[in-house]
Amino acid sequence: MLVELIPILGVVWIIIALSVGVNASENGLSPVLWGSITLFTGIFGLVIYAIVLSNKDGNNQEKICPECEASNSPDAEFCSKCASSLADKDIITSSTNAPSEGWVFLRFIALIGIFIAIFAVLVTFMCLLMMIS
């Protein structure tokens, strides 16, 4: 009975890997790479993806134009909105630490992955117990 659940868990894990690929694409990362890593390494790939995504989100810095208060890239010399020089003035650099929209989705997928990993360990343990007795 429990052995019959293993293919279902495999299908769910494939869906999780595809979901990670879609999320990676939305965050400017390689969907094939991250989907494959998650598929072949399981929960470990999901954890690695979460770490990479958190590092990517934490490095969102921007220059704020003192004239029009528009956001610009950190290496910009001129404002993209009003074209005033950003090199000679006091520039406020802000870091946007708000989590990306994909984080809520990723946390949900990670939680499902953890439950699947725990369930797979329990199923394996139960199968071994049945084989012994």
What pLDDT, in 10s, does the model give residues 86-113? 776 555 555 555 555 566 666 777 777 7
Residue scoring higher pLDDT (26 or 108): 26
Question: To which H or E segment does residue 72 belong?
Answer: strand 71-72
Q: Which residues of 72-85 are buried (b: 16+ CB within 10 A; e: fewer)?
A: beeebeebeeeeee
**Phi, psi torsion values for 83, nearest 5 degrees:** 65, 15
- Token digits of residue 86: 């950003």
Residues 69/91, Cβ–Cβ less than 8 Å = no
User: In this predicted structure, what is the pLDDT of residue 47?
Assistant: 79
What letter would DSSP give residue 67?
T
- Show Cβ contacts of residue 11 under 8 Å, excluding neighbours closer than 6 positions: none
pTM to 2 decimal places: 0.52
Tens of pLDDT, residue by residue over 33-86, are 988 998 888 778 887 887 787 766 555 567 778 778 787 777 778 888 888 887
Strand pairing category for 92-95 and 61-64: antiparallel
